[in-house]
Amino acid sequence: MKQNFTVRHGALEGVETFLCVARYRSFRRAAAELGVTPSAVSQAVRALEARVGATLLIRTTRSVGLTEAGEKFIARARPAFDEIVAAGEVARGLGQRPTGTLRLSVPPSVVPILLQSLVGSFRKAYPEVDVEIAASERLVDLAAEEFDAGIRLGQYVADDMVAVRLTPPLRFIVVGTSAYLDRNGRPGRPEDLVHHACLRMRRSNGMLAPWSFKDNGRTVEVAVSGPLIASDFPTLLRAALEGMGLAQVPEPIAAESVSSGRLAHVLESFAPMTPGVFLYYPSRRQVLPKLRAFIDHVKSQARGKEPVPTSDEQPSHDLNE
């Protein structure tokens, strides 16, 4: 049979007052401690006794003592009340200073190019905050899965999120090894990709992502095919480095490989721009100090300054501005 674990309305009322009276064995001293009148203390204790259904205190003109029911009540209530007070102190600490665990949902490609240096410097500045990074391409429900914030490319941030820019707008580029291009030729236009091995991305919704390009200001999408499908950009980049085919990835991810000559750009004049990478979270009103500290730290690192609180967050529907 299903049990009802709901706390009755008002079940905790008067408990603090009773515990205070029991500690001092005095209604008057309890009233002074709680900042109320002795009459209010007496009424609160009587109301608690009525709800409990037993007399908890023995009252005389000279003293106050505990009944057997009162002794048993206080034996269970005191530790529970102390835990409630301690829980409030913990919650208050999280609400007043940067402390606790900051949980971030990020795509794997962001970790090496953006987060590694940021997390290290953030931990030095805020040693009471631990950072948990859940690296996944999956677009998670931040509230339901108890994340403080997420990091994503701007085009994947929902309209009801508050977004903080982490990078400038960036290009999506097509790259391949010189060996692959020597064997298969360099595509001159996006439509030439139908003759190439293209390494494809499967989005978190299960759809295969088409490759997008800009041609004279017009967006062109090409349905490509190839030998590999992955759910993250680092895997596609590694496959391109192994000569399996061409990959379309955010430019910062491939920057080192391109500058070292291990990969080459193709279709450069058709590379589309994206809004860039953003940190996002549900609401300004729900920002705990640990997240506010991280936001300010990110901004200060981008500007080369000490952390200074700022407020240039913007709704995600303004990401392209």
Task: Using the predicted structure, report yes or no on whether residue 9 has a pLDDT greater than 70.
Answer: no
- Cα angle vertex 269, ends 201, 266, to 5°? 55
Nearest one of 312, 277, 284 to 111, comparing CA atoms? 277
Q: Residue 223's domain is classified under what CATH number?
A: 3.40.190.290
Claim to verify: residue 259 and residue 176 sit in the same structural domain? yes
Better-scored residue on pLDDT, 38 or 179: 179
Q: Give pLDDT tens digits for 98-121.
A: 888 999 998 887 777 677 678 888
Domain count for the chain: 3
Q: What share of the chain in percent tops pLDDT 90?
A: 34
C-alpha 247/C-alpha 265 separation (Å) is: 10
Would residue 162 count as lying in a domain?
yes
Is 311 found in the same domain as 261? no
Q: Is residue 8 part of a domain?
A: no
Element (H, E) at 60: none
> At residue 6, does pLDDT exceed 60?
no
For position 72, which CATH number holds?
Answer: 1.10.10.10
Q: What is the DSSP string of 267-316?
A: SGGGPPEE--EEEEES-GGG--HHHHHHHHHHHHHHHTS--------EEG
Is 127 in the same domain as 194? Answer: no
In a domain, 290, yes or no: yes
1: its two tokens: 């049979």
Q: Is residue 2 part of a domain?
A: no
| Centroid of chain to Cα 297 | 15
Structure token pair of residue 38: 């002795």
- Does this model's pTM top 0.85? My answer is no
**Is 128 within a domain?**
yes
User: In the structure, how many helices (H) and strands (E) does the chain have?
Assistant: 10, 16
Rg (CA), the chain: 31
Q: What is the pLDDT of residues 275-307, one digit of tens each?
A: 988 999 987 666 788 998 998 888 887 665 444
Domain that holds residue 185: 170-274
